[in-house]
Amino acid sequence: MVANLVAFLVLVVLIEPARAFDIKHLRTDFGTVLRLRGNVRAGDYGRLNWILQNEVIVGLEIKSGGGSLEDGVEIARVVRDKGLVVYVSRKCDSVCAFIFFAAKERYIGRRCKIGVHSVSNQRGKEDAETARSTVKMSRLLTGFGVPHSVIGKIVATPPANITFLNNHELAGLNVRRSNPFRNQSAGLARQETTSALQSPR
């Protein structure tokens, strides 16, 4: 179970510090989309989940270098549960890729790259515990329909490195190079950040 996995994880996927998600609403012809910028930090799952449980959201438009594995896994799970479409505008590395893999439909920009690596501990290193966590994450991704070739690349790439998916691997994920949300209204409706949103206490 994902909940059991994340309960014991005190890991981060990136070495360098990162700022939390900036979340904005975009009203498009497709429906309301959340634009996510920055990296995943502790607490981001709760902020995002509150929006998804209280509003009708059809998809995510994301650009991120990674971040908190625990929150990222939970975000991936809710993306899967809600059947969201995910579009990556520029880059999506590390745990961001897990969120992308969880999508009902996957889209990327023309110059976008999807980067992966194995799980690291708080020192940015791999040990026996993180190796086991990588294997458990692989099983989760298998449930998302991620091809074995992609999972193998995740397992084989050291935490300090990034390996990008090639065109063949992207095709195996049914990724399309287009923006499904491009027909957005001229004004960005309700373009508030999550800092303006009040989640229940």
Name the 3-class secondary structure at 115.
strand
Q: What is the pLDDT of residues 156-201, one digit of tens each?
A: 998 889 999 999 999 999 999 999 998 654 344 444 444 334 444 3
Q: Which helix (H) or strand (E) holds 170?
A: helix 167-172
Distance of alpha carbon 103 from alpha carbon 60, whole angstroms:
9
What domains are there in the chain, each with its CATH number? Answer: 2-195 (3.90.226.10)
Rounded to two decimals, the pTM is 0.80
Burial code of 1-33, b = ≥16 C-beta within 10 A, e = fewer? ebeebbeebebbbbeeebebbebbbbbbebebb
How many helices (H) and strands (E) the chain has is answered by 7, 7
Four-point Cα dihedral 197, 201, 80, 181, nearest 10 = -10
| Mean pLDDT value across residues 8-36 | 70
The confidence score (pLDDT) of residue 146 equals 94
